[in-house]
Copies of this chain bind each other. A is one copy, B any other.
Amino acid sequence: MGIPAAKLKELFLKMSQTRHFEETAARLFTEGKVHGTAHFCIGEEATGVGVCSALAPEDLIAQTHRGHNQAIGKGMRLDRMMAEFLGKETGYCHGRGGCMHIADSSVGSLGANGIVGGGIPIAVGAAFAQQYRKLDAITVCFFGDGATNEGAFHEALNLASVWKLPILFVCVNNYYAMSTPLNRHMNISDIAVRAQSYGIRGKSLDGNDVISVYEATLEAKEYVRREGPMLLVLNTYRYMGHSKSDPQNYRTKEEVESWKKRDPLVLFRDRLLRDGICSAEELDALDGQALRDVAAAVEYAESSPEPRTDEVLRDVLAE
């Protein structure tokens, strides 16, 4: 493992931040402080954090509706994320988008999308601009297992392949599209097979192991820059319901529990301890910092002003 210790700690911190951010957000829901919906990625932290931490600031990402890990991985600020979640003017989208549309152009996030698969062609366009401008940067496009059944996925991967664009397609496979298990929404078990339809490379790996995700991304990035698109499938699991109103009657508690035994944070913690990278105290300190960061974000968000109603039409059109 040639990853510098500082990077490993960054990964751990971001994963902890993601977990605490979402646990806190879920609590705010229960407390009735949020109007709207949210999709939590608890259990999947290693995917977005692992991938995005391997990217350069100038690389771009297109996020999903379940993308707090992607956002935090790419370096978005917790306070402005939380403010957006609460619909505040200080939020990334000035309260217009909520967490389904979180974006931060300053760190290279093209935003999350509420239309399943809708962001994939857009990411292809961003990669096209990178190629056209002869930039060294790449675009990473996230989507779920369910999204690979949308026509947009197919068209976008084909176009990216024909034009040899510098884009890494990352499928976060949590084995469910809402209530529908993978084996009832497609007839293959390895989503990476779909790469073959476009003549591009496909690869599946354990999405709960942040180190392999990080390393695979580093490698994929070089590949994509040289050779064009690639499809990376990260197998993982979501612990919480699909969204706030999910009865979760489509899976068993045992299934959820069995995945929790391979919790990405616990796995990573054990590994860091085992390899002697961090002491338990150091990891606890990082976790404590994550908790404090989230608490500060909540405070920032709660004390932030509401958007002004007389400015509601502000960004319908650019001047």
Spell out A's residues near B (CB within 8 Å): 149-155, 158, 161-162, 184-188, 193-194, 196-200
Contact = CB atoms under 8 A, between A and B. Distances in A.
B162 A155 contact: no
Contacts of A153: 151, 154
B155 A151 contact: yes
Name the residue among A153, A154, A184 with the largest chain B CB count within 10 angstroms: A154
A175 to B, nearest CB: 15
Nearest to A121: B151
Contacts of A150: 151, 155
Given A149-B158, A151-B155, A152-B151, A193 B187 contact: no
4 closest Cβ pairs, A-B complex: A151-B151, A187-B199, A154-B154, A161-B187
Contact of A196 (B161, B184, B193): B193
A245 to B, nearest CB: 26
Given A154-B155, A193-B196, 9 more contacts: A149-B154, A150-B155, A158-B187, A162-B185, A162-B186, A188-B196, A188-B197, A193-B197, A194-B197
Contacts of A149: 154-155, 158
A304 to B, nearest CB: 40
Contacts of A196: 188, 193, 196-197
Nearest to A152: B151
Contacts of A154: 149, 151, 153-155
Contact of A200 (B155, B184, B187): B187
Contacts of A197: 188, 193-194, 196-197
Contacts of A155: 149-151, 154
Contacts of A186: 158, 161-162, 198-199
